[in-house]
Amino acid sequence: MPIVSLGQGQGPYAEALVKKGCETGDWVFLQNCMLAKSWMNRLETIVFELGENSKTNHKDFRLYLSSSPAPYFPVAVLQNGVKMTNEPPAGVRANVSRSFATLVKEELWEGNAKPLAWKKTLVALCFFHANIQERRKFGPLGWNVT
| Beta carbons of 8 and 37 less than 8 angstroms apart | no
To the question of pTM greater than 0.95 for the whole model, the response is no
Output the tens digit of pLDDT for each of the chain's 146 residues.
888 889 888 889 999 999 999 999 999 999 999 898 899 999 999 999 888 877 888 889 999 999 888 888 888 888 888 877 766 667 888 888 888 888 877 777 777 788 888 888 888 988 898 888 888 777 766 666 54
Where do the domains of the chain lie? 3-79, 92-142
Give exposure, 8-36, as e/b (b: 16+ Cβ within 10 Å). eebbeebbebbeebbeeebebbbbebbeb
**Domain spanning 3-79, CATH class:** alpha beta
- Give the type of residue at 42: R
